[in-house]
Amino acid sequence: MSAADDSILEARLAALRGTDEAAWMEAVFRAFYAPLGQVVYRVVPDRAVVEDLLQDVFLRLWQGRAALPPLESHRAYLTRAALNAALRYVGRNKRQVAWDDAPAADTAPAVTPDALAALHHADTETAVAAALALLPPQCRVVFELSRYEELSYRQIAETLAISPKTVENQMGKALRVLRGALAGALRNLYSVLL
């Protein structure tokens, strides 16, 4: 869709929102369901899950319409909402898989042979999680898509509707912040290895 078409659509949606909310919601759904499905499918390649996530995004939009401020770009707002839903799903799914794969309490050994290494591993994971929390939201999303979802910079740029140069800048920023925040944890890890 061209910028002119996007401007016309935004003007039409703004007018509909002020006069007929049901027609506004139908127009939003018709205009953005398929493009959002393509974006979410890149993060969660399961058609049924994508449909559920999009249904939830549109339901939340409808339920929160009274508190929703005027939108400059429905496309940007809905893309962000859909990506956030997809990333939350991926995160929940990873935690569920980890929980399902965990040994039962009665089968776990009472004492691990390398308790110190396990302790440092847990400390490192905690430090990484804390460092990721320091990143600005878009920077964190770019980093997670690159490192955890293994998407290329071009794929991330397409998914987030930003330029590849912005992705590159955000990754550089993320790596600088993480390097600084994890310096102490890395020193502790090196001391264990030596």
Question: pLDDT tens digit string along 15-53?
Answer: 888 899 999 999 999 999 999 999 899 888 899 999 999
Closest alpha carbon to 184 in 127, 133, 122: 127
- pLDDT given for residue 116 in this prediction: 54
> What confidence score (pLDDT) does residue 188 get?
57
Q: Does the model's pTM come out above 0.85?
A: no
Task: Name the pLDDT band for 105 (thresholds 50, 70, 90).
Answer: low
Would the CA dihedral through 40, 44, 49, 52 be positive or negative? negative
Give the confidence band of 107 by pLDDT, cuts at 50, 70, 90.
low
- CA atoms of 48 and 7, how far apart (whole Å): 32
Supply the pLDDT for residue 100: 57
Average pLDDT of the residues in 12-16 = 88
Rounded to whole angstroms, the Cα distance separating 37 from 88 reads 16
Q: Of how many residues is the chain composed?
A: 194
Q: What pLDDT, on a 0 to 100 scale, did the predictor assign at position 178?
A: 82
Residue in the structure block whose two tokens are 């899950």: 49
pLDDT at position 53, please?
A: 94
Question: Do residues 142 and 156 make contact, with C-beta atoms less than 8 angstroms apart?
Answer: yes
Which secondary structure element, helix H or strand E, spans residue 90, and what is its range?
helix 74-101
pLDDT score at 37: 92
Distance CA 129, CA 41 (A): 26
Q: How far, in whole angstroms, is CA 37 from its chain's centroid?
A: 15
Q: How far apart are CA 36 and CA 148, in angstroms?
A: 21
Confidence band of 127 (pLDDT split at 50, 70, 90):
confident
What pLDDT shows up at residue 147? 82
What is the DSSP secondary-structure string of 17-66? Answer: HHH-HHHHHHHHHHHHHHHHHHHHHHHS--HHHHHHHHHHHHHHHHHTTT
Q: Residue 71 — φ and ψ, nearest 5°?
A: -100, 130
Query: What residues contact residue 101 under an 8 Å CB cut-off, 6+ apart?
Result: none
Is 143:131 a contact under the CB 8 Å cutoff?
A: no
Query: How much is the average pLDDT of 60-77?
Result: 89
Residue 150, by phi and psi: left (phi above 0), alpha (psi -120 to 50) or beta? left
Share of the chain above pLDDT 70, in %: 78
pLDDT of residue 17: 87
Q: How confident is the model at residue 123 (pLDDT cuts 50, 70, 90)?
A: low
Q: Is the pLDDT of residue 90 over 80?
A: yes
Residue 132's identity, in one-letter code, is L
Average pLDDT in the chain: 81
Residue with tokens 């993320």: 174
